[in-house]
Structure 1
């Protein structure tokens, strides 16, 4: 039995947190769809920086577009859109199936430089949606304060949205509210709610990467506070995810949601992101196996997906240990950890972690563009 296939009986979908022209053209992505029940793909500026800047796969296209006088950013958008279109086409049979479980999507992110620009995010979201021109693309929008109204607007226009960079429970609630309000705006305008999908991407391993050293330092000081801190090491991300799922069940129930569901609306599923393990002390599948549950998505790196295929143990664990999860979050202030401040720090750092590779990506495209332009000039 292939654990990647077996996980589908638990109604969780695995999406791949990776895209490159190579996996699109050499058959690897199609093989994962056919053999491993892969249900979607997510991308981000860091992934494209690795794919475009770290290989020669795109050089011919860059040269061709440079000769047409296109800027580095225009060339990047063209490359990214082409890859996303090709991936969307590979997932189209799944998307078109009578029971696609809201899967078959490929995500493309607005420029991280727009993370605090509502109008800019809406404009670029619309443009990318038009450029890709596939019903199974999702436009990624960060869950910043400025991103929230953009999410509402894009959903109201029937654009699928992958909300990224969620770290805290209060922000998750605000994201779900923006999604629901967008659907309500659309319904009021007399437009269909069917076929609109969204995911709320809750980032996990980065929470533990930030908080574990702080907790370990408090633990080393000893005493009751130290003992309590020691018990919290490595527990905060999973506790946050489990609590988020309880919120999801509450939000997408009741009269307000039912009125939209009756019009054909799909819930905004929680998507577990940043699920590759970054701490060698933890099991490689810590953020995968512990978060399997119905109506959820886990987007995982290639390496983690391959490990899960080899030794994964699919079981419905998302609602196990809920009392412990609540206690972990309640105990953080007792040891002096402000989770709200920590998640805000993670959001700020998260935006920066996308801006930096985006800058590197544009720089590498610019260098290749200049070389091509210089070569063209020399031929004249």
Structure 2
């Protein structure tokens, strides 16, 4: 089974653009917030005829200007505002609910965006059908369900129309972030406009936790492997399905971890558990997003967890369950060229596997000195799971 996780994280190339709505605000009120949204993921600001000129003079130049125009009469003024814009951008976007306004906007060299409010299936069909005529569709959905958004994404897939989903509640950080994962790809953009620094901070932190990063992996050589008797070991079940080139980093010390395989490879007498990693002894560190680690014994349902590919690509999931039982354990010691030795205690059984340097699973009972396996080297020193610069010796 091959699972593609298109929306599990956000890479630099796939970062969603976020539009910021300036409705009912002036430059003085928005000033501090506009400074905060000057950088990614924010990419555009929605302006109105009564505030466009003023806010344009103070808003960061990198933000695309989108101007809400509701009548043909306002288009000439809009064109003049765009011509005199301090942003230096040659093309503004005109957003409107009116097809007549959008047809006229093309004569003024505006890029066009249909704005639509959807409260039922018929309105959704009409909005999508009309929106396909323009480069942008700005969609506001009345109902809480994501089904209309799923239908819009699926229908517009493969077209040149880019979909922007409006999050009306400026405090709905959860709704904004969850929208990014709908149908795996999410909409092309969101319009989310926090009016407090707390909501803005929470939104940016949540996006950062989803970002696809690359974690440097190194190749180490197995120095020894030996049984050590009984101990408590934990299986970690995530709320996701692992691919055959993914696993979790687990280690006994803050120096780093080894890339453990999930149960996605055939096992005699047992069905696959493609959501599970048999992660080792309870004292072990498991890597999570944001450079944080947790002891296996600390993990609970809902704890953020990091899935790591054999190429170092990461994505974030959540713990669904941790199952701890007494099992025979085996100690593995692995040396790296940086003169670092990592160790890991795993359940001493054939079906427990670890990734080789070629990204192939090695059964623990077959692992021997001289085998080459994948791991990650970190700097020593952690306090409550966070990196800290201090003198520390871990053996």
TM-score (structure 2 length as normaliser): 0.35
By relative contact order (CA 8 Å, sep 6+), the higher-ranking structure is: 1
Greater helix share, 1 or 2? 1
TM-score by length of 1: 0.36
